[in-house]
Amino acid sequence: MENSRIVVFRFFAEPTDVNFGGKVHGGAVMKWLDQTAFACASSWSGTYCVTVFVGGIHFVRPIYIGNIVQITAKLIYTGTSSMHIALEVKSKSPKEHEYVVNTHCTMVFVAVDDKGNKVKVPKWTPMTEEDKEAEKLAVQMKGLFAKFEDNTKKLMTP
CATH for 46: 3.10.129.10
pLDDT at 141 over 60: yes
In 3-state terms the chain splits into helix, strand, coil percentages (rounded to 5) of 35, 35, 30
- Name the pTM for this structure: 0.90
Q: Report how far residue 110's alpha carbon sits from residue 118's, in angstroms, rounded to the nearest whole number.
A: 7
Domain that holds residue 75: 2-156
The count of structural domains within the chain is 1
Work out the number of other CB atoms within 10 angstroms of the CB of residue 109.
26
Q: What is the pLDDT of residues 56-106, one digit of tens each?
A: 899 999 999 999 999 999 999 999 999 999 999 999 999 999 999 999 999
Q: Please report the pLDDT score of residue 3 as a whole number.
A: 57
CB contact set of 35 (below 8 Å; sequence gap of 6+): 9
Q: Report how far residue 47's alpha carbon sits from residue 121's, in angstroms, rounded to the nearest whole number.
A: 9
Least confident of 82-86, 117-121, 136-140: 136-140
Q: Please report the pLDDT score of residue 145 as a whole number.
A: 77
